Amino acid sequence: MAVDNHKKHIIEVDIDDIHEGMVLANEISDGNGVKFIGDGVKISKLIVKKLKDNPPSQNILIYKKSIHPQKIPSIIAKNAQRLKIEMKNLCTATYPDSDFKKLEASVDAAANMLKNKIFNADSAKLINIKSLNQITDLIQGSSQRDGQVIKYIMKIRKKDDSLYKHSINVSLLSCMLGKWLGYRGDSLKILTRSAMLHDLGKVKVDESILHKPGKLSSDEFSIIKKHPEIGYKMLKEINYMSDDVRLGVLLHHEKEDGSGYPLGIKGAQIHHYAKIIAIADIFDALTADRIYHSGLSPLRVLEIFERESFGKLDVKCTMEFIRHISDFYEGCSVSLSNGLQGRIIKMHTNDISKPLILAENKFMDLRTRSDISVMDVFPD
């Protein structure tokens, strides 16, 4: 998270664009490799002269905040050619990279443990705290790499995604959202655990209903709708499990307007863990839908998520979630409906599927181009 955010606030500038007052974001060395300006140094008139008289061999990086906002587009445009090459490389890059492989391995390990030690335990009483802690640690460790997790959720989805994988995804997303909302320490751990167990009750639902292709009958749907209550009762048998974990499980299908289940409670009555888990749960389902059925762009998924959430999900949590997820898209390569490839320069949080794009050295604000849409996003 820290590294990704750090990168987002840095911009490369051409030597001709260096001005007094900008703040350097890298060390600059002279021709002999001797450092003569450090990261964080505010550029003075003298430094500007030195740099222009003797241009350094390495790229000059500047903290974005120190550049006048009006200057940013022209700086970006100047670097358009280089960006284009970068984009091309990104679009042909093969996923996953090594960090991504580590994340995948952790998620696989967590899903296997969840399956064997927790969901398939002969009795809830046999679920041991050691296994729960191991899985929670794996998830919390993985969720540190927010950018990788988002890439994982958005890009790599297999058709055989199981209840266990879904549970781990929801747990990863809940843990990240919890962090963005300021949860730390034990409260973050308990939230992660509750999210991991949110669909535990589904182990008691007949598989033929659970995996039925096509529409469920109303009887079948009412059986599925029992899973939060079943999970809650199973967790009641475990005396070391906190009420917060149980309530997150019981209430994750409740809605802000009272239209959810099993209790039909509203707003402030819904436990805050359940509100977070609900967002993660729906987002994971929508993303899976995109891959399996509808072929929607990730930005369209966010747009639907935002719209569907109105009155149903907690507004503050949803906005925080969308804001962070869209942040990660800035700088990503995209393919457009007109066949061009480009890069997202700025997301508009009030019009999520229509960002400002740089393509073929030109800026295109998709809010004013109803004829062009983003087809796919390639996370860095």
**Least distance (Å) between residue 201 CB and Fe ion:** 8
**Least distance (Å) between residue 210 CB and Fe ion:** 11
Residue 146 or residue 199: which is nearer to Fe ion going by CB?
Answer: 199
Residue 199 or residue 256: which is nearer to Fe ion going by CB?
Answer: 199
Choose one: 197-205, 266-274, 326-334, 351-359; the region binding Fe ion (CB under 5 A). Answer: 197-205
Choose one: 65-73, 199-207, 304-312, 350-358; the region binding Fe ion (CB under 5 A). Answer: 199-207
Choose one: 33-41, 192-200, 257-265, 324-332; the region binding Fe ion (CB under 5 A). Answer: 192-200
Residue 230 or residue 332: which is nearer to Fe ion going by CB?
Answer: 230
Parallel/antiparallel/unpaired status of strands 60-63 and 10-13: antiparallel
- Cβ-closest position to Fe ion: 199
Comparing CA positions, the residue from 354, 157, 283, 214 lying closest to residue 344 is 354
**Least distance (Å) between residue 252 CB and Fe ion:** 6
Residue 36 or residue 261: which is nearer to Fe ion going by CB?
Answer: 261
**Least distance (Å) between residue 166 CB and Fe ion:** 9
Number of residues that bind Fe ion (CB under 5 A): 1
Choose one: 67-75, 107-115, 195-203, 363-371; the region binding Fe ion (CB under 5 A). Answer: 195-203
| Bond before 228 cis per omega within 30 degrees | no
**Least distance (Å) between residue 247 CB and Fe ion:** 14
**Least distance (Å) between residue 274 CB and Fe ion:** 11
**Least distance (Å) between residue 370 CB and Fe ion:** 37
**Least distance (Å) between residue 219 CB and Fe ion:** 18
**Least distance (Å) between residue 292 CB and Fe ion:** 18
Question: Binding residue for Fe ion (CB under 5 A) from 146, 199, 244, 284?
Answer: 199
Residue 227 or residue 272: which is nearer to Fe ion going by CB?
Answer: 227
Choose one: 32-40, 110-118, 142-150, 196-204; the region binding Fe ion (CB under 5 A). Answer: 196-204
Residue 115 or residue 155: which is nearer to Fe ion going by CB?
Answer: 115
Residue 199 or residue 284: which is nearer to Fe ion going by CB?
Answer: 199
**Residue 26, token pair as written in the block:** 């890298």
Residue 199 or residue 306: which is nearer to Fe ion going by CB?
Answer: 199
**Given CA atoms 86, 297, 214, 263 in this order, what sign does their dihedral have?**
positive
**Residue 58, token pair as written in the block:** 């390495």
Residue 22 and residue 15: Cα distance in Å, rounded?
A: 12
**Residue 234, token pair as written in the block:** 């199973």
146 contacts Fe ion (rule: CB under 5 A): no
Comparing CA positions, the residue from 80, 85, 185, 196 lying closest to residue 139 is 196
**Least distance (Å) between residue 195 CB and Fe ion:** 11
Residue whose entry in the numeric block shows the structure tokens 């359940």: 274
Residue 162 or residue 335: which is nearer to Fe ion going by CB?
Answer: 162
Comparing CA positions, the residue from 357, 370, 371 lying closest to residue 87 is 357
Burial class (CB in 10 A: 0-12, 13-18, 19+), 38: exposed
Long-range contacts of 229-236 (CB under 8 A, 24+ apart): 229/201, 229/262, 230/200, 230/201, 230/202, 230/204, 230/205, 231/197, 231/198, 231/199, 231/200, 231/201, 231/202, 232/201, 233/201, 234/124, 234/200, 234/201, 234/204, 235/124, 235/197, 235/200
Comparing CA positions, the residue from 10, 36, 8 lying closest to residue 25 is 10
Q: What track of x and - describes contact with Fe ion for positions 152 through 191 (by CB under 5 A)? A: ----------------------------------------
Cβ 259 vs Cβ 253: under 8 Å: no
Q: How many CB atoms lie within 10 A of CB 167?
A: 27
Instruction: By CB under 5 A, name the binding residues for Fe ion.
Output: 199
